[in-house]
């Protein structure tokens, strides 16, 4: 439900702006109408978004009480990301001046996958770009005044809290001389930091030098993704199952933290099993433990 806001000046009514549907997709590929959940997406893929608006400028000028020759407008496309009601980060993707005779505008922009988390918040704005010399009592006069907006929220894989951040880079350049220089990926994490935000405490580096594997991961190949997710699951869970501190606080870690994510993964891999049973399986039947981890990694992304 949209909350109505009383502005101290005239604004543009929704019915006066013809808005085309939000279009969203992988950068460089055809875009499709945006849905409330973006499925089968991972952090190595950049996103592209577009929208279009049609503005009856004469009618808008009359409604705002500003002569058409005095009316200066800008259309702005913004994107934000992060959990909760308000995005943690916001970017301006494009800003277009509305020319006198231009009524139809298309706005477009791209976002790198590595900076996104939990949800994608899209917003199209129309703001006042020039202070008019002639106006009426209720006309907007301050540059930057928000006159109209359209918003849309997209959940990244059911909220994205369970995702791990990915980054593509050349290991030959970044890790020259290191033992993992030739590895197809490298998962960075620090054991024991269960209270830290998951997206800030971990990062998956994908090696662009291993060309074929990198292509498979970018394309979302399910087998390649399962291999990566299984490795990440295995590393994190192996460290946690034998850590008494983790088990003592397992119900207290907040959602989005390393501990909260590990709790979710354990519930998926070993539903209903108490701590002792999971620890026993890890110690005495490591093959069965690893197979259980592998079984929940086949969804292609960490959940």
The percent of residues in the chain predicted with pLDDT above 70, rounded, is: 87
Who has greater pLDDT, 8 or 299?
A: 8
CB 204 within 8 A of CB 167: yes
Provide the pLDDT for residue 176.
92
Element spanning 286, H or E: helix 286-297
| pLDDT reading at 11 higher than 90 | yes
- Written as six digits, the tokens of 148 are 């109209």
**32-36: long-range contacts, CB 8 A cutoff, minimum separation 24:** 34/122, 34/152, 34/154, 35/154, 36/153, 36/154, 36/155
Residue 211 predicted with pLDDT over 70: yes
- The confidence score (pLDDT) of residue 195 equals 84
245/219 Cα distance (integer angstroms): 39
pLDDT tens-digit map of 181-204: 999 999 988 777 888 877 777 888
Closest CA to 91 of 116, 67, 70, 58: 116
10-24, 138-152, 209-223: lowest mean pLDDT where? 209-223
- Mean pLDDT over 11-28 rounds to 93
97-127 pLDDT per residue, tens: 997 767 889 999 998 877 777 788 999 999 9
Predicted confidence at residue 22, as pLDDT, reads 96
Q: What is the DSSP string of 64-89?
A: HT--GGG--EEEEEEEEE-SSSS-SE
Mean pLDDT value across the chain? 84
Q: Tell me which range, 20-24, 274-278, 289-293, is most confidently predicted by mean pLDDT.
A: 20-24
Residue 248 to residues 150, 245, 271, Cα–Cα distance (Å): 46, 5, 18
Collapsing DSSP to helix, strand or coil, 245 comes out as helix
Average pLDDT over residues 273-286: 89
Domain 14-156: give its CATH code: 2.60.40
Contacts of 31 (CB under 8 A, 6+ apart): 23, 24, 25, 48, 49, 50
> Using one digit for the tens of pLDDT, what is the confidence trace for 164-187?
567 889 999 999 999 999 999 999
Mean per-residue pLDDT, 247-269: 82
Render pLDDT for 65-87 as a digit per residue (tens, 0 to 9).
999 999 999 999 999 886 655 56
Measured CA to CA, the distance from residue 155 to residue 135 in angstroms comes to 42
pLDDT for 26-48, tens place per residue?
A: 998 999 999 888 876 766 778 99
The domain locations on the chain are 14-156, 166-297
């Amino acid at each position: 439900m949209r909350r109505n806001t009383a502005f101290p000046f005239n604004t543009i009514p929704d019915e006066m702006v013809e808005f085309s549907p939000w279009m969203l997709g992988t950068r460089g590929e055809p875009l499709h109408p945006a849905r409330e959940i973006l499925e089968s997406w991972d952090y190595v893929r950049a996103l592209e978004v577009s929208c279009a608006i049609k503005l009856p400028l004469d009618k808008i000028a009359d409604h705002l009480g500003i002569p058409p020759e005095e009316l200066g407008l800008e259309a702005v496309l913004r994107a934000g990301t992060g959990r909760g009601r308000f995005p943690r980060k916001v970017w301006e993707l494009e800003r277009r001046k509305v020319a006198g005779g231009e009524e139809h505008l298309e706005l477009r922009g791209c976002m790198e996958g590595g900076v996104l988390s939990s949800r994608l918040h899209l917003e199209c704005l129309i703001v006042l770009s020039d202070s008019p010399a002639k106006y009426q009592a209720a006309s907007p006069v301050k540059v930057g005044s928000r006159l109209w907006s359209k918003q849309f929220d997209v959940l990244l894989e059911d909220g994205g809290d369970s995702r791990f951040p990915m980054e593509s880079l050349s290991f030959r350049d970044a890790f020259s001389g290191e033992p993992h220089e030739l590895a197809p990926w490298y998962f960075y994490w620090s054991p024991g930091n269960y209270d830290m935000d998951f997206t800030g405490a971990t990062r998956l580096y994908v090696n662009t030098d291993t060309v074929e594997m990198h292509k498979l991961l970018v394309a979302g190949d399910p087998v390649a993704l399962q291999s990566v997710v299984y490795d990440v699951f295995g590393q994190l869970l192996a460290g946690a199952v034998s850590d008494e501190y983790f088990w003592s606080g397992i119900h207290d870690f907040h959602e989005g933290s390393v501990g909260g994510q590990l709790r979710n993964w354990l519930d998926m891999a070993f539903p209903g099993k108490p701590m002792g049973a999971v620890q026993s399986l890890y110690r005495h039947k490591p093959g069965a433990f690893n197979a259980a981890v592998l079984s929940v990694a086949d969804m292609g992304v960490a959940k």
